[in-house]
Amino acid sequence: MKLLEGKRAAIFGVANERSIAWAISEAFHAEGAELAFTFAGEVLEKRVRPLAEGIGSILPCDVTKDEEVEKVFATLKQEWGGIEILIHAIAFANKEDLSNPYVQTSRAGFHLAMDVSAYSLVALARHAAPLMEGRKGSILTLTYMGAEKVIPNYNVMGVAKAALEASVRYLAHDLGPKGIRVNAISAGPLRTLAAAGISDFKTMLHHVAERAPLKRNIDAAEVGKTALYLCSDWGSAVTGEVLHVDAGYNIMGM
Ligand code: NAD
Ligand code: IMJ
C-alpha cells in the first residue's frame, strides 16, 4: 500500500518544473495521491497545464481574490467531495522591496507581501477545513529562515514569513480539534523562479554549503520527501511545527 493511497491533495504554487510545489507533487504522485493544481494568471496556466496533464486537474486561483479562492473550493467539493491535503507554496513581494533597505517599505508593499504570502494561508485553511471534515487533514506551507534571522534583501518577505510561521501555530490550535494538522517546512535556498534575479544567489548557495553541518545545499526532492512525511500518517502526531530542511544551516551560531 502506497503512503498516500486514496488521499486527495490540492496544490497551490506550481509555476514550473523547478517549483518546490512541483517536487512535492511528484513525491505525492509516486505515493498514490490524487492531485489538483491551481495557477495564478494566464501566463502560468501555459506552464502548469502541460505539467499537470496526466497527473491531475488544474484550476485558476489568484489568492488575493476572494471569489477565485471560493470558486476553487466549490469546484473541489463538487468534483471530489472532500480533500485530505492542502499545499501552500506561495509568496510574493514587490521587486523593489527585495532590494531597497527594509526601512523604505511602503504601506502598499507591506500589505501586498502580507496578503499574498501570509494571509492567503489563513484564507485557504478556512475554506479547506470543511472539506477535510470527518477525516484526518494535513495543511503544509513553505517558509524560509529569513523569518527568524536577518537575510540581506529578504526584507518584507522575512516579516511576512514570520507572520506565516505564527499563523501555522494559531491555525494548528484552531483546527487540531477537527483532526487537521498544520505545519511548515523551512527550506534552504533553491534555484526556483522565486529565487531568480536575486543578486549573488550563487554566492549565497556557496555560503550555505560551506557552513551547513551537511556541507552542501539541499534539492527540491528532499523537500518533497519531508512533505510526504508531514502529510502522511507518518506525521500523525506532528502539528504547529516549522521543520527545517536546510542541511542544518539554521543551527549554526558561528
Ligand atoms: P515559485 O516561483 O516556483 O513558486 C512561487 C509560487 O507563488 C508561484 O507558483 C506563483 O504563481 C505563486 N504566487 C505568487 N503570487 C500569487 C498569487 N497572488 N496567487 C496565487 N499564487 C501566487 O518558487 P518556489 O521557490 O517554489 O516558492 C514556493 C514557496 O517556497 C514560497 O512560499 C517561497 O517563499 C518558499 N521558499 C522558497 C525557497 C527558495 O529558495 N526557492 C526557500 C524557502 C522557502
Ligand atoms: C528572496 C529575496 C532575497 C533573498 C532571498 C530570496 N534568498 C532566498 C530567496 C536568500 C533563498 C527566495 N525565497 C526564499 C523567497 O521566498 C522568495 C520570494 C519572492 C521572490 C520574488 C522575486 C520576484 C518578485 N517578487 C518576489 N516575491 C517574493 O518580483
Q: For 65-106, what is each residue's pLDDT tens digit?
A: 999 999 999 999 999 999 999 999 999 999 999 999 999 999
- The verdict on whether 102 is a catalytic residue reads no
**Which protein residues are within 6 Å of ligand 2, measured from CB?**
91-93, 95, 98, 144, 151, 153-154, 157, 189, 194-195, 197-198, 204
Q: Give every CB contact of residue 22 below 8 A, 6+ residues apart in sequence.
A: 14, 16, 51, 220
Hey, where are the domains in the chain? 8-251
Residues 242 and 209: their CA atoms lie apart, in Å, by 21
Alpha-carbon dihedral of residues 177, 136, 62, 22, nearest 10 degrees?
140
pLDDT at 151: 96
Pocket mutation for ligand 1, best pick of 124, 192, 218 (most atoms within 8 Å of C-beta): 192
Q: In what order do the strands lie in the sheet with 85-88?
A: 56-60, 34-39, 8-12, 85-88, 137-143, 180-187, 242-245
Distance CA 27, CA 100 (A): 37
Percent of the chain past pLDDT 90, that is, above it, reads 93
Query: Over 90: is that where the pLDDT of 176 sits?
Result: yes
Confidence of residue 43 (pLDDT cuts 50, 70, 90): confident
Q: Convert the pLDDT of each residue in 161-175 to its tens digit.
A: 999 999 999 999 999
Cα separation, 94 vs 73, whole angstroms: 28
- Identify the three-state secondary structure at position 134: coil
Residue of 27 and 54 predicted with greater confidence = 27
pLDDT band of residue 135 (cuts 50, 70, 90) is confident
pLDDT on residue 54:
81
Res 42 pLDDT > 90: no
Pick the CATH number of 8-251 from 3.40.50.720, 3.40.50.280, 3.40.50.620, 3.40.960.10: 3.40.50.720
Query: Residue 95 Cα, ligand 2 centroid: separation in angstroms?
Result: 9
Model confidence at 147: pLDDT above 90: yes
Q: With 90 as the cut, is the pLDDT of residue 134 above it? A: no
- What gap in Å lies between CA 40 and CA 189, rounded to an integer? 23
Q: Residue 3: pLDDT band by 50, 70, 90 thresholds?
A: very high
Rg of the chain's alpha carbons, rounded to an integer?
17
pTM over the 0.95 mark: yes
User: What cell numbers appear for 37 in the block?
Assistant: 493544481
Q: Which of 102, 119, 154, 249 is catalytic?
A: 154
Ligand 1 mean position to 134 CA, how many Å? 30
Arithmetic mean of pLDDT, 108-126: 98
**Candidate from 97, 198, 242 with most ligand 2 atoms within 8 A of CB, to mutate:** 198
- The per-residue pLDDT for range 180-229, each reduced to its tens digit, is 999 999 999 999 999 998 889 999 999 999 999 999 999 999 999 999 99
